Amino acid sequence: MKQTLPSIQEIHDSFDAGTSDPLSLTEGFFTRIKASKHNAYITLCEDRALQQARNLSIELKTAFQGKVPRQTHPLFGIPLGIKDVLTMDGVRTTCASRILENYVPPFTATAVARLEVAGAVSLGKLNLDEFAMGSSNENSAFGPVLHPTHPDRVPGGSSGGSGTAVAADLCVAALGTDTGGSIRLPASFCGVVGLKPTYGRISRYGQIAFASSLDQIGPMTRTVRDAALLTGIMAGVDENDSTTLARAPEDWVAVVDRANGDSSSLHGLRVGIPAEYFIDGIDPGVRQAIERAIEFLKQEGALVVPVSLPHTEYAVSTYYVIAVSEASSNLSRYDGVRFGVRPEGAMRAATPSEFYKEARALFGAEVKRRIMLGTFALSSGYFDAYYRKAAQVRRLMRQDFENAFQKADVLVSPVSPTTAFRLGEKSKNPLQMYLTDIFTIPASLAGLPAMSIPVGEDADGLSIGMHLIGPRFGESTLLRVASRIEGGLS
Amino acid sequence: MSLTCLGVSVDVNTEFEAVIGLEVHVQLATDSKIFSSARARPEPGNSVADEAVNKNTTPVCAGHPGTLPVLNQKAVNYAIRAGLATSCKINLKSIFARKHYFYPDSPKGYQISQYDLPLCEGGHLDIEWGEEGEMTKRIGITRIHMEEDAGKSVHHHGYSLVNLNRAGVPLIEVVSEPEMRGPAEAGAYLRKLYAIVTAIGVCDGNLQEGNFRCDANVSIRPKGVKEFGTRVEIKNVNSFRFVEKAIEYEVERQRQVILSGGKLVQETRLYDSQKNRTFSMRTKEEAEDYRYFPDPDLPPLILSEEQVEAIRASLPELPDQKRDRYIREFGLKRYDSTLLTSDVLWGRLFQESVALCGRENGKILANLMIGEGMRLVSSADPDETKGFTAKQFSDLALAVADQTVSMTAAKQILAILFEQGGEVGAVIDREGLRQVSDLSALEPVIDEILAKNPKQVEEYRSGKEKVLGFFVGQAMKATRGKANPALLQDLVIRKLKG
Compare CB distances from B63 to A107, A326, A333 and report the shortest one's residue: A333
Residues 423-482 of A with CB under 8 A from B: none
Average pLDDT over every residue of B44-72:
93
- DSSP states of B259-280: HTT-----EEEEEETTTTEEEE
Residue B313 domain-assigned (yes or no): no
Domain-ending residue, one of B386, B404, B431: B431
- Shared domain check, B186 and B102: yes
Please pick, among A83, A125, A196, A426, the residue that the annotation labels catalytic.
A83
Query: Does an H or E element contain B454, and which?
Result: helix B454-461
CB contact under 8 A, B162 and A86: no
d(CA B369, CA B360): 16
Give mean pLDDT, residues B434-462: 84
CB atoms within 10 A of CB A391: 16
Which residue in the set A242, A337, A380 is minimally distant from B68, CB to CB? A242
Could you tell me which residue, A390 or B433, shows the higher pLDDT?
Answer: A390
DSSP letters spanning B185-252: HHHHHHHHHHHHHHHTTS----TTTTSEEEEEEEEEEETT--S----EEEEEE-SHHHHHHHHHHHHH
User: What digits encode the pLDDT tens for the residues A314-342?
Assistant: 999 999 999 999 999 999 999 988 888 88
Best of B32, B37, B58, B67 to mutate (most A CBs within 10 Å, chain A): B67
Q: Do B293 and A204 touch (CB under 8 A)?
A: no
Rounded to the nearest 10 degrees, how much is the dihedral formed by the CA atoms of A61, A64, A68, A69?
A: -160
Residues of A in contact with B282 (CB under 8 A): none
**B393 three-class SS:** helix
Residue A115 counted as domain residue: yes
Mean pLDDT, rounded, for B422-439: 84
Q: How many CB atoms lie within 10 A of CB B345?
A: 12
Residues B391 and B330 in one domain: yes
Is the Cβ–Cβ distance between B355 and B347 less than 8 Å?
no
Q: Quick check: bond before A158 cis, omega within 30?
A: yes
pLDDT > 70? residue A429: yes
Mean pLDDT lowest among A123-137, A272-286, B478-492: B478-492
Q: Say if B388 falls within a structural domain.
A: yes
For residue A474, tell me if it sits in a domain: no
Q: Is residue B236 part of a domain?
A: yes
Task: Give the DSSP letter of residue B101.
Answer: -
Please tell me the predicted confidence (pLDDT) of residue B1. 60
Q: Is A83 annotated as catalytic? A: yes
pLDDT band at B440 (very low <50, low <70, confident <90, very high): confident
Task: Please indicate, yes or no, whether residues B412 and B443 belong to a single structural domain of this protein.
Answer: no
**Is A387 touching B (CB cutoff 8 A)?**
yes
What part of A 238-297 touches B (C-beta under 8 Å)? 239-243
Chain A residue with CA closest to B301: the answer is: A242
Give how far B317 is from chain A: nearest CA, Å: 35
Whether residue A272 is contained in a domain is answered as no
- Which domain does A164 fall in, by range? 8-259
Residues 6+ apart with CB under 8 A from B192: B125, B126, B127, B128, B319, B342
* 8 Å CB contact between A159 and A131: no
**Domain check: are B213 and B340 in the same one?**
no
| Overall number of domains in chain A | 1
Integer Cα distance of A152 and A421 in angstroms:
9
Mean pLDDT, range A228-249, rounded to an integer: 96
Nearest-angstrom CA–CA distance, B407 and B239: 32
Interface check for B71 against chain A (CB to CB < 8 A): the answer is yes
Residue B374: pLDDT over 60: yes
- Are residues B164 and B44 part of one domain? yes
List CB contacts of A121: < 8 A, sequence separation 6 or more: A22, A26, A49, A52, A53, A56, A77, A78, A79, A80
* A342-357 average pLDDT score: 85
Q: With contact defined as beta carbons under 8 Å apart, do B211 and B225 qualify?
A: no
Q: What is the reported pLDDT for A476?
A: 98
Contact A242 B299 (CB under 8 A): yes
Pairwise CB contact (< 8 Å): B59 & A107: yes
Mutate to test the interface with B, among A333, A335, A367, A444 (most CBs of B within 10 A): A333
Within this chain, do residues B156 and B238 fall inside the same structural domain, yes or no?
Answer: yes
pLDDT above 80: residue A393 = yes
Residue B314 lies inside a defined structural domain of this protein? no
Question: Does residue A60 carry a pLDDT above 60?
Answer: yes
Query: Could B291 and A356 be called an inter-chain contact, meaning their C-beta atoms sit closer than 8 Å?
Result: no
Q: How far is residue B158's CA from residue B178's CA, in Å, rounded to a whole number?
A: 41
Task: Return the pLDDT at B384.
Answer: 65
Q: What is the pLDDT of residue B19?
A: 97
pLDDT score at A50: 98
Residue A39 has pLDDT above 50, yes or no: yes
Question: Is the pLDDT score of B477 beyond 90?
Answer: no
Q: Do B65 and A326 touch (CB under 8 A)?
A: no
Place A31 in a pLDDT band, splitting at 50, 70 and 90.
very high
Q: Are the beta carbons of B291 and A353 separated by less than 8 Å?
A: no
Decide if A352 and B103 are in contact by the 8 Å CB cutoff. Answer: yes
Residues B96 and B191 reside in one and the same domain: yes
Mutation to test the B interface, candidates A179, A213, A326, A329, most B Cβ within 10 Å:
A329
Chain A: residue whose CA lies nearest to B98: A329
Q: Does A352 touch chain B (CB under 8 A)?
A: yes
* CB-CB contact of A445 with A394 (8 Å): yes
- Higher-pLDDT residue of A430, A18: A18
CB B82 within 8 A of CB B144: yes
Residue B84 maps to a domain: yes
In the 8-state DSSP scheme, what is residue B285? G
Q: What is the CATH number of the domain that holds B466?
A: 1.10.10.410
Nearest Cα neighbor of A135 from A376, A407, A433 is A433
In the predicted structure, residue B337 carries a pLDDT above the cut 60: yes
Question: Which amino acid, residue B159?
Answer: Y
Asked whether residue B68 is domain-assigned, the answer is yes
Highest-confidence segment of A338-352, A441-455, B4-18, B394-408: A441-455
Residue B377 shares a structural domain with residue B250 = no
- Domain assignment present for B312: no
Do residue B209 and residue B344 come from a single domain? no
Cβ contact, residue pair A333, B107, below 8 Å: yes
Domains in chain B, number? 3
Q: According to the 3-state scheme, what is the secondary structure of chain A?
A: CCCCCCCHHHHHHHHHHCCCCHHHHHHHHHHHHHHCCCCCEEEECHHHHHHHHHHHHHHHHCCCCCCCCCCCCCCCCCEEEEECCECECCECCCCCCHHHCCCCCCCCCHHHHHHHHCCCEEEEEECCCHHHCCCCCCCCCCCCCCCCCCCCECCCCCCHHHHHHHHCCCCCEEEEEECCCCCHHHHHHHCCEEEECCCCCECCCCECCCCCCCCEEEEEECCHHHHHHHHHHHECCECCECCCCCCCCCCHHHHHHHHHCCCCCCCCCEEEEEHHHCCCCCCHHHHHHHHHHHHHHHHCCCEEEEECCHHHHHHHHHHHHHHHHHHHHHHHHECCCCECCCCHHHHCCCCHHHHHHHHHHHCCHHHHHHHHHHHHHHCCCCCHHHHHHHHHHHHHHHHHHHHHHHHCCEEEEECCCCCCCECCCCCCCHHHHHHCCCCCHHHHHHCCCEEEEEEEECCCCCEEEEEEECCCCCHHHHHHHHHHHHHHCC
> What is the Cα–Cα distance from B19 to B231, expressed in whole angstroms?
9
pLDDT at B245 (0 to 100): 95
State residue B193's pLDDT score. Answer: 97
Put simply, whether A376 touches B (Cβ < 8 Å) is no
Q: Which of A87-91, A394-398, B11-15, B84-88 has the lowest mean pLDDT?
A: B11-15
Distance of CA B94 to the CA centre of its chain: 30
Residue B383's pLDDT is: 64
Residue B102 with chain A: CB contacts under 8 Å = 332, 335, 352-353, 356
* The last residue of a domain, from among B395, B413, B431: B431
Q: Which of residues 445-474 of B touch A (CB under 8 A)?
A: none
Q: How confident is the model at residue A442 (pLDDT cuts 50, 70, 90)?
A: very high
Distance CA A112, CA A75 (A): 12
Q: Which pTM was predicted?
A: 0.91
* A205–B66 CB contact, under 8 Å: yes
The pLDDT score that the predictor gives to residue A2 is: 43
In angstroms, rounded to a whole number, what is the distance separating the alpha carbons of residues B186 and A171? 67
The answer to whether the Cα torsion of B57, B62, B68, B70 is positive or negative is: positive
Among A263-267, B64-68, B349-353, B450-454, the least confident range: B450-454
Q: What is the pLDDT of residue B492?
A: 85
> What number is the average pLDDT over the span B384-410?
87
CATH number at residue A86: 3.90.1300.10
Buried b (16+ CB within 10 A) or exposed e, B419-429: eeeeebeebbe
Q: What is the pLDDT of residue A249?
A: 92
For residue A212, list chain B residues with Cβ-Cβ distance below 8 A. 296-297
Q: Do B59 and A243 touch (CB under 8 A)?
A: no
Q: How far apart are CA B222 and CA B475, in angstroms?
A: 55
Give the three-class secondary structure for B111: strand
pLDDT in tens, A103-119: 999 999 999 999 999 99
Report if residue B356 sits inside a domain: yes
Chains A–B, number of C-beta pairs less than 8 Å apart: 107
Q: How high is the mean pLDDT of chain B?
A: 91
Contact A380 B64 (CB under 8 A): no
Q: What is the pLDDT of residue A1?
A: 40
The complex scores an ipTM of 0.95
Which one has a higher pLDDT value, B497 or A359?
A359
Collect all residues of chain A within an 8 Å Cβ-Cβ radius of residue B62: 338
- pLDDT at residue A440 tops 80: yes
On whether residue A113 sits in a domain, the answer given is yes
Hey, how many other C-beta atoms are within 10 angstroms of the C-beta on B329?
13
Q: Indicate if the pLDDT at residue A416 is higher than 50.
A: yes
CA A296 from centroid of its chain's CA atoms: 26
SS3 assignment, position B427: helix
pLDDT confidence of A120, banded at 50, 70, 90?
very high
Q: How many CB atoms lie within 10 A of CB B36?
A: 24
Give the integer Cα–Cα distance in Å for A158 and A131: 8
Considering the domain architecture, whether residues B415 and B449 belong to the same structural domain is answered as no
CA torsion sign, A450 to A452 to A458 to A463?
positive
A379 CA: distance to closest CA in chain B (Å) = 5
pLDDT band at B382 (very low <50, low <70, confident <90, very high): low
Does residue B473 sit in helix, strand or coil?
Answer: helix
What is the residue range of B395's domain?
319-431
Rounded Cα distance between B277 and B256, Å, is 14
Distance of alpha carbon A386 from alpha carbon A237, whole angstroms:
33
Domain end point (choices B247, B280, B307): B307
**Does the pLDDT of residue A3 top 50, yes or no?**
no
Residues β-bridged to residue B282: B268
| Bridge partner residues of B18 (DSSP) | B220
Residue B136 CB contacts under 8 Å (≥ 6 apart), including other chains: B126, B127, B128
Query: What does DSSP assign to residue B42?
Result: P
User: Do B65 and A332 count as a contact with CB atoms less than 8 A apart?
Assistant: no
On whether both B45 and B187 belong to a single domain, the answer is yes
pLDDT of residue A45: 97
pLDDT score of B461: 86
Give the H or E element holding residue B465: none
Q: B351 — phi, psi (to 5°)?
A: -60, -45
Mean pLDDT of B426-444: 82
Q: How far apart are the first and last CA of chain B?
A: 74
Residue A374 pLDDT > 60, yes or no?
yes
Residue A219 C-alpha from the chain's centroid: 6
Query: What's the average model confidence in pLDDT over B90-107?
Result: 95
Closest CA–CA distance from residue B96 to any residue of chain A (Å): 13
CB contact set of B306 (below 8 Å; sequence gap of 6+): none
Q: Is B257's pLDDT higher than 70?
A: yes
Interface test with A, best of B297, B298, B301, B302 (most A CBs within 10 A): B297
| Domain assignment present for A77 | yes
Measure the CA–CA gap between B357 and B375, rounded to whole angstroms: 22
Active site residue A444: no
Q: For residues B296 and B298, give the distance between their C-alpha atoms in angstroms, rounded to a whole number.
A: 6
Q: Considering only A199-208, A220-229, A452-461, B476-485, which range has the smallest mean pLDDT?
A: B476-485
d(Cα B468, Cα B457) in Å, to the nearest integer?
9
- What is the pLDDT at residue B21? 98
- Whether B360 and B328 map to the same domain: the answer is yes
Is A204 at the interface with chain B, CB within 8 A? yes
Core vs surface per residue B283-316: b (16+ CB within 10 A) or e: eeeeeeebbbbbbbbbeebebeeebbeebeeeee
pLDDT above 60 (res A84): yes
> What is residue A490's predicted lDDT score, i.e. its pLDDT?
58
pLDDT of residue B42 exceeding 50:
yes
Q: Give catalytic status of residue A158 as yes or no.
A: yes
Residue A165 lies in a domain: yes
